[in-house]
């Protein structure tokens, strides 16, 4: 994989080849397909009933219908987006195929673009049935959020890719021994992203940290939309700027980790 | 023809195509270990060269540096006239490799795997190319079977098909016949010979199989502890050590029994 020639042409043909590779893999394995739908469905059912119960017993939640279900769906976009990216990357490590790819004309940017595309495909397979369940079981129409939903989605998916690129670089450098970080890093973001509660709940010093994370802006924006019926474009723009910085930083980190992996011979071992 | 005419029609150094591989003062140090210790060699286009040496001799690290998978600590590698890894984009599409350290995705069928690698290497007329490789390498019976369900011999043939999918000018092979039965190994060697003949390709192979090296290679480079211990044609090396097989030479080198004639 050529890391130096990033400035030269990006080949859609090679990106398409990699997407095809992951698509073939998904189609060849029903457990992989089931896994994409299983957890999101469980999540929405559990949290949906909780939302119903709270709404019947608390005036605030009755007014703010859908904040919990909306938060669950948006969190799943963030989490599944990163997993969709990282699992496709891990498939190469598990299959010991990374050497073949690194030796091919595939460029790192093309590899990452293919992983991003796959995260969207995997996300669609998992989250669309989830939103339909929310609609039919709990009468929460996720798509009624309208245009703001696009802003929420874009910001969350950009963050998920940044995390995905960074953890993939870590696994590339440190081998499958670092695999657990793929599954757990996003949970470190969870308490600070204020998914189920407003930022004002946090101690003041921690609020500064929370506002450094783009998902915080999205969940605050979702609450503003569902509770106050107001779309906070300012929050979305701030999140977009932080996301741009995070994406650039994660890509730089990936290249540095790839270089370090080549320096240490990690691409030859690739194991633990 | 005058002497001057003859001289002007003779290829000059500038006209001659660069060597397929040029390695200069290559060093690779992993923490305390000096895996490759200042080796230099050049491999002519169209040749088959064997890289010999015991475990830990530095063969795989050398090949990995030529491929750009490992960065040298110091020294220079040029492949098909381009510096590696800084200009790898110019050559990666013109070379390929096979190694026991990598696998093809197990759940994908042979045809799917070859399709994906064909697309990565921008192979034109890919269907025809896969069909031709399937005929050449006898893959037709299991072309639509998952790679993970193949025998070791079948997997090796598939890996070879992947290595040949882009008709590479340079083929790097690390233990190409390891874990194969003698019949399949012989079949793979025959195919490599025929590929080199038909395509004027350059092949560099690392192997522990001395018979394989004797049969295939025009030249042998013997490595020990990261250094080049000897370099020449198989016949010249055997004569130098006063041995009748490369296996005996290998044992002499591995056990430090260097002949008096070499001293």
A109-157 pLDDT per residue, tens: 999 999 999 999 998 998 888 889 888 888 888 888 778 888 999 999 9
Stretch 248-267 of chain A: residues touching chain B, C-beta under 8 Å: 259, 262-265, 267
pLDDT of residue A227: 85
- For chain A, say whether B67 makes contact (Cβ under 8 Å): yes
Give the minimum alpha-carbon distance from A264 to chain B in angstroms, rounded to a whole number: 7
CA atoms within 13 A on the CB side of A27: 10
- 0.95 surpassed by complex ipTM: no
Q: B92 — contact with chain A (CB < 8 Å)?
A: yes
Burial of B246 (0-12, 13-18, 19+ CB in 10 A): buried
Contact between chains at B64 and A268 (C-beta distance less than 8 A) = yes
A77: Cβ contacts below 8 Å, ≥ 6 apart: A123, A127, A152, A153, A156, A157, A160
Contact list in B for residue A260 (CB cut-off 8 A) is: none
Element containing residue B174 per DSSP (H, E): strand B170-174
d(CA B54, CA A40): 53
**Using the beta-carbon criterion (under 8 Å), do B115 and A100 form an inter-chain contact?**
no
Distance of CA A143 to the CA centre of its chain: 19
Is the CA virtual torsion B79, B83, B88, B89 positive or negative?
negative
| Integer Cα distance of A110 and A102 in angstroms | 12
Q: What is the pLDDT of residue B3?
A: 45
| Residue range A154-188, pLDDT digits in tens | 999 999 999 999 999 999 999 888 888 998 888 88
CA pair distance A73, A155, nearest whole angstrom: 14
pLDDT for the residue numbered A5: 43
Q: Which residues of B215-239 are buried (b: 16+ CB within 10 A; e: fewer)?
A: bbbebbbbbbebebbbbeebeebbe
Q: Which chain B residues are Cβ-neighbours of A5 within 8 angstroms?
A: 87-89
Ordered domains of chain B (ranges, CATH): 18-103+169-262 (3.40.50.300)
Give the CB-side neighbour count of residue B136, counting CA atoms within 13 A.
20
Name the burial class of residue A262, with classes exposed (0-12), middle (13-18) and buried (19+) by CB atoms within 10 angstroms of its CB.
Answer: buried
* Local confidence pLDDT in tens for the 272 residues of chain A: 544 444 458 899 999 999 999 999 999 888 888 888 888 888 788 777 777 777 776 666 555 666 778 888 889 899 999 999 999 999 999 999 998 999 999 999 999 999 999 999 998 998 888 889 888 888 888 888 778 888 999 999 999 999 999 999 999 999 888 888 998 888 888 899 999 899 999 999 999 999 999 999 999 999 998 888 889 999 999 999 999 999 999 999 999 999 999 998 888 765 44
Instruction: Calculate the alpha carbon distances from B241 to B48, B137, B234, B258 in Å.
Output: 22, 38, 11, 7
- Of A13, A97, A270, nearest to B104 by CB-CB distance is A97
Asked whether the beta carbons of B74 and B24 are under 8 A apart, the reply is no
Cα A35 from Cα B6, distance rounded (Å): 74
pLDDT (0 to 100) of residue A20:
96
Task: Please list the residues that pair with B22 across neighbouring strands.
Answer: B42, B78
**Residue B17, pLDDT score:** 65
| Distance between CA atoms of residues B30 and B36, nearest Å | 9
In angstroms, what separates the C-alpha of A128 from chain B's closest C-alpha? Answer: 26
User: Is residue A1 a contact partner of residue A92, using CB atoms and an 8 Å limit?
Assistant: no
List alpha helices for B81-171, DSSP H: 110-120, 126-136, 152-164
What ranges in chain A are assigned the alpha helix state H?
12-27, 30-57, 59-63, 67-94, 98-102, 108-138, 147-174, 180-189, 204-210, 214-228, 233-264, 266-269
Using the beta-carbon criterion (under 8 Å), do A103 and B60 form an inter-chain contact?
no
pLDDT value of residue B166: 95
Q: Got the DSSP string for B192-237?
A: HHHHHHHHT-EEEEE-S-HHHHHHH-SEEEEEETTEEEEEE-HHHH
Q: What is the pLDDT of residue A6?
A: 44
Interior/surface letters B142-168, b for 16+ CB within 10 angstroms, e for the rest: bbeebbeebeebbbbbbbbbbbbbbbb
Decide if B59 touches A, using CB distance below 8 A: no
């Amino acid at each position: 994989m050529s890391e130096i020639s990033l400035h030269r042409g990006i080949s859609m043909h090679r990106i398409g080849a990699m997407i095809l590779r992951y698509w073939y893999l998904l189609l060849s394995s029903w457990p992989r397909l089931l896994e994409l739908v299983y957890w999101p469905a469980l999540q929405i059912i559990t949290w949906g009933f909780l939302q119903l119960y709270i709404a019947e017993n608390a005036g605030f939640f009755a007014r703010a219908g859908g904040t919990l279900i909306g938060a669950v769906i948006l969190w799943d976009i963030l989490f599944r987006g990163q997993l969709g990216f990282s699992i496709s990357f891990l498939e190469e490590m598990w299959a010991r195929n990374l050497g073949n790819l690194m030796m091919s004309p595939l460029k790192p940017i093309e590899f990452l673009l293919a992983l991003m595309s796959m995260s969207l495909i995997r996300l669609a397979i998992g989250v669309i049935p989830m939103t339909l369940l929310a609609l039919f079981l709990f009468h929460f129409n996720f798509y009624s959020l309208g245009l703001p939903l696009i802003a929420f989605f874009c910001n969350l998916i950009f963050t998920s890719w940044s995390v995905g690129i960074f953890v993939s670089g870590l696994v590339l450098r440190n081998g499958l021994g670092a695999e657990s970080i793929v599954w757990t890093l996003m949970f470190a973001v969870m308490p600070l992203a204020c998914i189920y509660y407003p930022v004002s709940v946090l101690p003041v010093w921690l609020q500064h940290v929370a506002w450094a994370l783009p998902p915080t802006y999205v969940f605050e924006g979702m609450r503003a939309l569902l509770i106050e019926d107001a779309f906070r474009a300012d929050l979305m723009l701030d999140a977009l700027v932080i996301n741009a910085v995070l994406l650039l930083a994660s890509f730089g980190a990936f290249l540095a980790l790839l270089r370090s992996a080549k320096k240490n011979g990690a691409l030859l071992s690739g194991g633990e | 023809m005058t002497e001057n005419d003859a001289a002007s029609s003779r290829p000059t150094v500038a006209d001659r195509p660069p060597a397929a591989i040029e390695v200069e003062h290559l060093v690779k140090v992993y923490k305390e270990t000096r895996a490759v210790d200042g080796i230099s060699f050049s491999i002519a286009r169209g040749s088959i060269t064997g890289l010999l040496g015991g475990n830990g001799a530095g063969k795989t690290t050398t090949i990995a540096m030529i491929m750009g998978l490992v960065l040298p600590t110091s020294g220079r590698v040029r492949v098909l006239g381009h510096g590696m890894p800084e200009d790898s984009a110019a050559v990666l599409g013109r070379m390929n490799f096979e190694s026991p350290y990598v696998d093809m995705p197990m759940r994908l069928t042979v045809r799917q795997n070859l399709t994906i690698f064909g697309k990565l290497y921008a192979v034109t007329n890919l269907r025809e190319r896969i069909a031709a490789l399937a005929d050449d390498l006898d893959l037709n019976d299991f072309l639509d079977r998952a790679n993970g369900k193949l025998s070791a011999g079948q997997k090796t043939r598939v890996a070879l098909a992947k290595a040949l999918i882009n008709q590479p000018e340079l083929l790097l092979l690390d233990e190409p016949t390891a874990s194969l039965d003698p019949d399949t190994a012989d079949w793979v060697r025959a195919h490599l010979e025929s590929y080199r003949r038909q395509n004027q390709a350059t092949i560099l192979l690392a192997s522990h199989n001395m018979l394989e090296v004797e049969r295939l290679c025009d030249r042998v480079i013997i490595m020990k502890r990261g250094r080049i211990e000897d370099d020449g044609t198989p016949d010249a090396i055997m004569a130098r050590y006063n041995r009748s097989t490369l296996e005996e030479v290998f044992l002499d080198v591995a056990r430090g029994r260097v002949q008096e004639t070499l001293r």
